[in-house]
Amino acid sequence: MARITIDPITRIEGHLRIDAVVDGGKVQKAWASCSMWRGIETMLRGRDPREAWFFTQRFCGVCTTVHAIASVRAVEDSLGMEIPLNAQYIRNLILIAHALHDHIVHFYHLSALDFVDVTTIPNADPAKAAEIAQSLSDWPGNSKQEMARVQAKIVALVGSGQLGIFANGYWGHPAMKLPPEVNLLAVAHYLQALEYQRKANQIVAILGAKTPHIQNLAVGGVMNGINLNSQATLNMDRLYMMKDLFDEVIAFVQQVYFPDACAIAGFYPEWFGYGAGVKNYLAVPDLPTDTASTTFDLPGGTIFDGNLAGVRPITSSRDDYFRKGVVEDVTHGWYQGKGAQHPWQGETVPNYTDFQDDGKYSWVKAPRFEGKPMQVGPLASILVGYALGHELTRKWADRALERVAAVAQRPIPLDGLHSTMGRYAARAIRAALLSDLAERHWKLLVTNITKGDSSVFNPPQFPKGTIQGVGFHEAPRGTLSHWVVVKDGVIDNYQAVVPSTWNASPRDEGGVSGPYEASLVGNPVANAEHPLELLRTVHSFDPCLACACHTLDVEGRTIATVKVL
Amino acid sequence: MSGATDAEAPIAVVGIGNVLLGDDGFGPSVIELLRAGWRLPEAVELIDAGTPSLDLAGYLHGRAVAILIDAVAATGAPGELRLYRGDELRRLPPKPRMSPHEPAVQEALWIVELSGSGPRKVLLVGVIPQSIEPHPGLSPAVRASAAAAAELVVRELARCGAAPTPRRNPRMADAWWMREQRFG
């Protein structure tokens, strides 16, 4: 028996820490802990609710826009106000562009190397790699010349002994299974992806004035002046500049990312059998299509125990099923107290104790829905959409499963998505369906503007007394909700229940594990010194915990990577 | 419009850090000082990148020169400025990646270099922080170094042939995180 601690803790940064007890080549018990206190919400008390989004946008450096949108939605919800249609569409386009950017980066730059062994690339036949790539899609960047060019780069890199970005991989690990040619095409697309994630970000910049911190939001709408003939506003030129960029990003998602994700999944079919963990899923509806945010292009709802037939929809942020269903439990978190509180009543009083296996061991609170831990993220959104009969979800999910099955040469049932690989597949499915919705929402915006509607903002009016609201967003990592209490026009309480809090949740008062923890149990580990398999499962959630703080360590201080006790 | 545009300015000055975590907000604060006090040539783009992790690669892609401003964990007194050249940064030992969203200056540099789109010249202006507790605003020691860091960036830009000119009427720095209220 071995206890593995993966803990990249440095002196001043906060990180995710995973502890796992491994016996007989499998994880028997696991803990997920975050080593940084997220006390940023307390800073918002006493401030003007109209400026909260400026602060929340800085909660996280990677998920900036999502916290901005959730914040203005929360304040609008507290006022029960509607926002103009143009504002909805502009926000939706920002959210879609951001999500496409985020999913592309996650797949290629943050997690593909868990499955792709770069060191085999010198042995690849570029002609064969091009042939495989061309069998997957007719993307123009799949030529033999392109594959040979990338191979030459990698050969030079491996030859130099300075692997740079690839220095950290578990190369030659027995769990690496791709043929050299597939590794080569994956790395070719890894490099191309850099260009397309950037284009997606350019769309955010056109609408949001800046990235990564958009400037165009307001409680009540957006601040984009619309005048089709003015250079200073959102005019036809800019709308078409955005369309051109979307077209390029959509092509990359549908012809490169989606086919790659399906093909790589097909080479690792066993990973559809590991990592299910918590099979309760939560997703919220998003991409509102009316001024009151009651109709949506993406459905939301809950699934319990993997029972898709029992799916229950969440209709809007006014739905009491959601409003009353969410609590946060601090029994195993480094906070004062025990048990659960609703976010509007939530308190954040730190109480650090050290890591106690059976006591408090994380700065993450344990969110629960109707008392249950929930998995959030693209998988939740895809399963809920599928269960509710959402057409676009079914189209892309069915396509993905067919493609995976063709490579794996065995059928992969929908149930296989409850797994580590299911989370990777679901993210690609979501990117593909969002790329369809990008076109739709661009058309909706242009049609509405050409009809003569240039309205973008309704001024908010704050009443005397106490009001409370929730704003949610189905973010790239899953359900995000901001909960605000406003008293006499000033913020009285503010709580953000973020996707990684749901997934990285510690145990609750009843000792029930959160999704990361549960998904690791039963996970194979061939070599405790090189727990690649654990990283695959953790990375499949796309965790985002540490980004609120950034200080570059220029002295290269040693970092405890993996400790086997 | 700033941020990513199709015709990328060849020189990027990138402030990195979280403005809600005390001295970690040094980079963005220096960016606002530069915006307020200097008129910049077309070739230069100022970016408050926040804590972009690997997304930083997107801001470095296609540039000739990148000047980064960040808080650094180095030995010394709070407020001390340190200069690092690209090669020193690239030679730092690689770190394990647990969460895919950890700070990633060196990784971002490696990626753009590998793709052939990386800046030829990279400079990092670092400050040693006093406090990175959750609180908007810089400590006195670090705040005192912000102007010096801005001057340093100005000198480097001049060396690259893109000398900023001081504004006759400096604007107020739009560092909203230093103010009590944005409205009213």
Q: How far is B74 from chain A (nearest CA, A)?
A: 6
CA distance B144 to A84: 45
Secondary structure tally for chain A: helices H, strands E? 15, 17
Say whether B20 and A60 touch across the interface (CB within 8 A): no
CB–CB contact B134 A39 (8 Å): yes
pLDDT score of B183 more than 70: no
DSSP lists the bridge partners of residue B15 as B48, B69
- pLDDT given at position A381: 98
* Rounded Cα–Cα distance for residues A191 and A117 (Å): 15
pLDDT at A227: 85
- Summarize the confidence of residues A226-251 as an average pLDDT: 91
- What pLDDT does A323 receive? 97
Interchain proximity A205–B5, CB inside 8 Å: yes
Q: Do B100 and A111 touch (CB under 8 A)?
A: yes
Note the pLDDT tens digit of each residue in A305-359: 999 999 999 999 999 999 999 999 989 988 887 789 999 988 777 888 888 999 9
Peptide bond into A212 cis (omega under 30): yes
A432 pLDDT above the threshold of 60: yes
Phi, psi of A3, deg, nearest 5: -110, 120
Write the CA distances from A528 to A172, A275, A521, integer angstroms.
Answer: 15, 17, 14
Q: Do B21 and A542 touch (CB under 8 A)?
A: no
Suggest the residue from A17, A542, A549, A559 to mutate for an interface test with chain B (most B CBs closer than 10 A). A549
Q: Is the dihedral of CA B152, B153, B158, B159 positive or negative?
A: positive
- A157 CB near a chain B CB, below 8 Å? yes
Distance from CA of A382 to the nearest CA of B (A): 22
Best mutation target, B101, B130, B142, to test chain A (most A CBs within 10 A): B101
* A365 alpha-carbon distance from chain centroid: 19
Residue among A60, A78, A482, A530 flagged as catalytic: A60
ipTM: 0.87
- The active-site residue, picked from A13, A181, A328, A533, is A13
pLDDT > 90? residue B12? yes
Partner-chain contact B176 A206, CB within 8 Å: no
As a residue count, chain B comes to: 184
User: What pTM, to 2 d.p., does this model score?
Assistant: 0.93
Q: For residue A34, indicate whether it is catalytic.
A: no
3-state secondary structure A330-372: CCCECECCCCEECHHHCCCCECCCCCCCCCCCECCCEEEECCE
Mean pLDDT of the residues in chain B? 85
- From chain B, pick out residues whose CB is under 8 angstroms from the CB of A531: none
Query: Which of A:6-45 have CB within 8 Å of B?
Result: 6-8, 10-13, 15-18, 37, 39-40, 42-43
Minimal CA–CA distance to B51: which of B29, B34, B30, B28?
A: B28
Task: Closest CB to B129: pick one of A241, A535, A551.
Answer: A551
For the stretch A174-187, pLDDT in tens is 999 999 999 999 99
**Cβ distance of B57 and A551 shorter than 8 Å:** no
Contact (CB<8Å) A210/B71: no
At A160 the pLDDT is 85
Selection from A247-256, B74-83, B117-126 with the highest mean pLDDT: A247-256
Give the residue, A212 or A131, on which the prediction is more confident: A131
Query: What is the structure's pLDDT at A14?
Result: 47
Mean pLDDT of the region A182-207:
95
* E strand residue ranges, A358-420: 366-369
pLDDT higher than 90, residue A150? yes
Instruction: Please tell me the predicted confidence (pLDDT) of residue A338.
Output: 77
State the pLDDT at residue A545: 65
Tens of pLDDT along A435-469?
999 999 999 999 999 999 999 999 999 999 999 99
Q: What is the pLDDT of residue A348?
A: 73
Helix (H, G, I), strand (E, B) or coil at B43: coil
Work out the average pLDDT over A236-247. Answer: 96
Q: Which pLDDT band holds residue A39 (cuts at 50, 70, 90)?
A: low
Question: What's residue B53's pLDDT?
Answer: 79
Q: How far apart are CA A554 and CA A343, in angstroms?
A: 39
Q: With contact defined as beta carbons under 8 Å apart, do A284 and A479 qualify? A: yes
**Better-scored residue on pLDDT, B5 or A278:** A278
Among candidate residues A40, A77, A69, A13, the one with its CA nearest the CA of residue A474: A69
Q: Rounded CA gap, A450 and A460, in Å?
A: 26
Rounded Cα–Cα distance for residues B123 and B145 (Å): 17
- Taking only the tens place, the pLDDT of each residue in A495-552 is 999 898 899 999 999 999 999 999 999 999 988 888 889 889 998 998 876 443 334 4
Residues of chain A above pLDDT 90, percent: 75
Task: Pick A296 or B89 by higher pLDDT.
Answer: A296
Is the separation of the CB atoms in A72 and A53 below 8 Å? yes
Q: Report, as an integer, the average pLDDT of A131-149.
A: 97
- Between CA A187 and CA A125 the distance in angstroms is 14
SS3 content of chain A, % helix, strand, coil (to 5): 45, 15, 40
> Which candidate, A497, A406, A37, A104, places its Cα nearest to that of B132?
A37
> In chain A, which among 528-557 make CB contacts under 8 A with chain B?
535, 538-539, 542-557
Residue with tokens 């509806």: A285
Query: Exactly one of A381, A500, A513, A519 is catalytic; which is it?
Result: A500
Q: What percent of chain B has a predicted confidence (pLDDT) above 70? A: 86
